[in-house]
Amino acid sequence: ARAIQQRRRPRGMPVPEDFAEAELVLPALEPGDALVENLWLSVDPYMRECMDGDWELDRPLEGRSIGLVVETQSPELPIGSLVFHRDGWRTHTVLTARDARVLPRYDGIAPQTFLGLLGGTGLTAYVALTRIAHLRPGETLYISAAAGGVGSAAGQLARLLGAGRIVGSAGSADKVRILTEELGFDAAFDHRAGPSVSAQLAEAAPDGIDVCLENVGGEHLEAAVEAMRESGRIAWCGAIAQYNMTSAPAAPRNLFDLVAKSIRLEGFLVANHRDAQTEWEEFLVPHLRSGRVTDRLSVTDGFERTVDAFLGMLRGENTGKSVVQLTPH
Ligand code: NDP
């Protein structure tokens, strides 16, 4: 199998030289094992954080993948099963049933959707809005990194939940257009252009916001606190603006406003809400089938371009969830 390993710790923004491809010799199958050929890999912001210390160097990386069972000694993983696993950026792996989820085959829904809306990305949006922020019909919602995987899922979900005004920020004029013209946002702005995030948010949500799904941190979180109405809720999901920073972020400076406005700020990890997966699938599948919701993916072709896809996602080149498609051999 071919695998991508981390050679050294990135300093700030990672570069291709921080990674290397390695050839792995896979173990012979033992009873209970299955050989999985990967079809799709996920490149995720959390991986950047793991690269600073959690992950050992020169070892295959962890990561969300979807593959096909091609040889088996496991009755629970028959040949041809489509499986989700976390064995990382590699072409093949040997798994037992404990480490793999056999995916249901939903008519008309592509397997890679299990890395996007039907996977942890969509589940994060669902948990944020329903369990953490308790979005209510008619409320105004602000989403940062709104054109990304979690953001584009959350915007579409918020519409289904009856949100009033939905506002998003993203990093280019084209993404802003996609948010308002294709993803149902009422207003959007380019955080890389124009005045401060806070000034742009005030213009896009002149009456303030009730709920925020915060993916960026720093200046974006500060702007959300400023725009928040009394008794607002912030589901703090990520802080991508600081994953590549080598020093502490300068904002937010206004956290004491949480007191005056009785705002609730709650961080969460989707890993602690896996029990919501079935509920999410049951809710989402009919909407996916009817086309009311679309799984936007940014697809990079070829295993050898996995690192490019990862770096591109950190630079904001993706719209929707960033995934890599492997060519079957
Ligand atoms: P995205 O698809 O949103 O990709 C990341 C996006 O972040 C880029 O496309 C870019 O979009 C934006 N970005 C990058 N750098 C900056 C910056 N300096 N300032 C502002 N925006 C930036 O990734 P995901 O949907 O997978 O993840 C989104 C967030 O959700 C991340 O913070 C991630 O860590 C978090 N997350 C948290 C989970 C949890 O359990 N709490 C689970 C999954 C994700 P643009 O062009 O718009 O700037």
Domain of 157? 120-271
pLDDT at 327: 81
Widest Cα–Cα separation across the chain: 63
pLDDT at 194: 85
Say yes or no: CB of residue 148 within 6 Å of ligand 1.
yes
Q: Which atom of ligand 1 is nearest to the CA of 145?
A: 47
Check whether residue 148 and residue 176 sit in a common domain. Answer: yes
ipTM, two decimals: 0.99
Tell me if 147 sits within 8 A of 319, measured CB to CB. yes
Handedness of CA 10, 11, 12, 16 (dihedral sign): negative
Q: Quick check: is 287 in a domain? A: no
Cα 37 to ligand 1 centroid, rounded to whole Å: 28
Residue nearest to atom 32 of ligand 1 (CA): 238
What residue type is assigned to position 221 of the chain? L
- The model's pLDDT over 36-76, given as tens digits with 9 standing for 90+, comes to 999 999 999 999 999 999 899 999 899 999 999 999 999 99
CATH number assigned to the domain comprising residue 77: 3.90.180.10
Q: Are residues 232 and 89 in the same domain?
A: no
Model confidence over 251-282: pLDDT tens digits? 999 999 999 999 999 999 999 999 999 999 99
Calpha distance 123→75 (Å, rounded): 29
What pLDDT does 328 receive? 63
Kind plus residue range of the DSSP H or E element containing 18: none
Q: Nearest C-alpha to atom 18 of ligand 1 is from which residue?
A: 241
Q: Which amino acid is at 239?
A: A
Give yes or no for residue 216 CB within 6 A of ligand 1. Answer: yes
Instruction: Give the position, in ligand 1's atom list, of the atom nearest the Cα of 236.
Output: 41
CA distances for 57 relative to 54, 86, 146, angstroms: 10, 18, 33
Ligand 1 contact, 124 CB (< 6 A): yes
Q: Taking phi first (over 0 means left), then psi (-120 to 50 degrees means alpha), and beta for anything else, what does residue 317 get?
A: alpha
Say whether 65 sits in a helix, a strand or coil. strand
| Within a domain: 285 | no
| 75 Cα to the center of ligand 1, angstroms | 39
Q: 316 and 221: one domain?
A: no
Q: What is the number of helices (H) and of strands (E) in the chain?
A: 9, 15
What is the predicted pLDDT for the residue at 329? 54
| Residue at 281 is within a domain | no
Does residue 313 line the site of ligand 1, with CB under 6 A?
yes
* pLDDT block averages, 10 residues each, the chain of length 329: 97 97 97 98 97 94 96 98 96 98 95 98 98 98 98 98 98 98 98 96 98 98 98 98 94 97 98 98 97 97 97 98 87
For ligand 1, atom 11, which residue shows the shortest CA distance? 316
- How many residues are recorded in the chain? 329
CATH number at residue 145: 3.40.50.720
Q: Which residues pair with 95 in a beta bridge?
A: 34
Does residue 282 lie in a domain region? no
Whole-number Å distance between alpha carbons of 115 and 101: 13
Side-chain-facing half-sphere of 40: CA atoms under 13 Å: 20
Query: Which of these, 168, 254, 171, 259, lies nearest to 213 by C-alpha position?
Result: 168
Residue type, 22: A
Assess whether 306 and 243 both reside in one domain.
Answer: no
- Cα(145) to ligand 1 centroid in Å equals 6
Question: Is 133 in the same domain as 86?
Answer: no
| Number of domains forming the structure of the chain | 2
Question: Which residue's CA lies nearest to atom 1 of ligand 1?
Answer: 148
Verify whether ligand 1 is closer than 6 Å to residue 236 (CB atom).
no
Q: Please work out whether the CB of residue 44 comes within 6 Å of at least one atom of ligand 1.
A: yes
Distance (Å, rounded) from C-alpha 155 to C-alpha 149? 10
| Percentage of the chain exceeding pLDDT 70 | 99
Predicted local confidence at residue 249, as pLDDT: 92
Q: Tokens at residue 303, please? A: 């295993």
